Amino acid sequence: MNAALTLRERSEAEASRLPPLLARAEHLAGTVLLGEHGRRRSGLGDDFWQYRPAQSGDSKRMIDHRRSARGDQQYVREREWQIAQSVLLWVDQGASMRFSSDRNLPAKADRARLLGLATAILLARGGERVGLTGTALPPRRGNEQIVRLAQAWSQDAEADYAPPEHRAMIPHARAVFISDFLGDLSEVELALTKAADRGVRGVLLQVLDPSEESFPYRGRTIFESVGGSLRHETLKAGDLRGRYLQRLASRKDALYQLCRATGWQLGLHHTGDSAQAALLWLYRALDGGTR
């Protein structure tokens, strides 16, 4: 009876978090202006894209005679590129992501989920398939898929650090990994290596709390992981600052070198900064930085 009650309470708590996350992600996605056509481009397909003046090398079959009859110039009717791309997303749900140094700052997990879901919304609006890495939620189109993503990201992992899922990488897809990337780096290396072997290119977005960059601690301090598996007490926290910042810089450099070797892009976002700016960077990075 108690177990059933606990399960029901957990389900109700997860459901109560879902609508606000969806609403905030929809609002955030709506603040990013993508232009009239979003990710659409000219190419093979059935839908009309645009008229353009005929050029040398265009075949006679490409000429739209009805449009050309309106004037003295001949026009070609271009169709829209319709090869939908699959985009795989992984948002770290480990306990370390639930850290926030200030009540006025969102937890890293909250910001990561918001950015992941808003990115998925933008991609889905552009006609692309979105889903999770692994086998739990294969890429699909539509609003129902966005709800499924929100449901999946409403659940926390118990471990301090959650490794990225690297199974079932779809060849030549794109991917987005959002995490603090403070856990075991070998798991990230494995995921990106597998992705690169399958022609998958993507983006790593490291999300950090401002205090994790500045290390403002002094005097007697107890450091304890959110999951409770790690604990360290010191009387001189300030003496640790130099070593901590050096290790953080080394971790950032290792991530940069890994992305460089596998053809991925690396971004950094602080929870005290604009979510809109991070979302725009993510979207442009997914598009190869061409937008």
Least trusted range by pLDDT, from 72-86, 156-170, 190-204, 260-274: 72-86
Q: 176: closest CA among 227, 208, 211, 139? A: 139
pLDDT at 215 over 80: no
pLDDT at 142 over 60: yes
Q: Please answer whether residues 280 and 32 qualify as being in contact, where contact means their C-beta atoms are separated by less than 8 angstroms.
A: yes
Q: Please answer whether residues 191 and 165 qualify as being in contact, where contact means their C-beta atoms are separated by less than 8 angstroms.
A: yes
pLDDT at 177 over 90: yes
User: Which uninterrupted H or E stretch holds 213?
Assistant: helix 210-214
Quick one: pLDDT at residue 13?
Answer: 54
Which tens digit of pLDDT belongs to each residue from 63-94?
777 777 887 788 777 654 444 589 999 999 99
Least trusted range by pLDDT, from 188-192, 208-212, 219-223: 219-223
Q: Which two tokens stand for residue 146?
A: 């966005």
Confidence of residue 290 (pLDDT cuts 50, 70, 90): very low
> Distance (Å, rounded) from C-alpha 259 to C-alpha 253?
10
* Percent of residues, the chain, with pLDDT higher than 90: 48
Which tens digit of pLDDT belongs to each residue from 196-209?
999 999 999 999 99
Q: Please answer whether residues 205 and 178 qualify as being in contact, where contact means their C-beta atoms are separated by less than 8 angstroms.
A: yes
Quick one: pLDDT at residue 127?
Answer: 85
Entry pTM: 0.75
pLDDT at 283 over 60: yes
Determine how many CB atoms are found less than 10 A away from the CB of residue 226. 18
Triad 271, 273, 274: Cα angle to 5°: 115
Phi-psi region of 57 (alpha: psi -120 to 50; beta: other; left: phi over 0): left
Which tens digit of pLDDT belongs to each residue from 119-140?
999 999 888 899 999 988 999 9
Confidence of residue 32 (pLDDT cuts 50, 70, 90): confident
User: Which uninterrupted H or E stretch holds 120?
Assistant: helix 108-125
Q: Please answer whether residues 232 and 223 qualify as being in contact, where contact means their C-beta atoms are separated by less than 8 angstroms.
A: yes
Quick one: pLDDT at residue 69?
Answer: 82
Q: Which two tokens stand for residue 193?
A: 């290596």
Q: Which residue has the higher pLDDT, 38 or 244?
A: 244
Report how far Cα 124 is from the mean position of its chain's Cα atoms.
Answer: 13
Least trusted range by pLDDT, from 7-16, 193-202, 241-250: 7-16
Confidence of residue 194 (pLDDT cuts 50, 70, 90): very high
Mean per-residue pLDDT over the chain, rounded: 81
* Percent of residues, the chain, with pLDDT higher than 70: 72
Least trusted range by pLDDT, from 32-41, 102-111, 226-235: 32-41
Q: Which two tokens stand for residue 284?
A: 């442009």
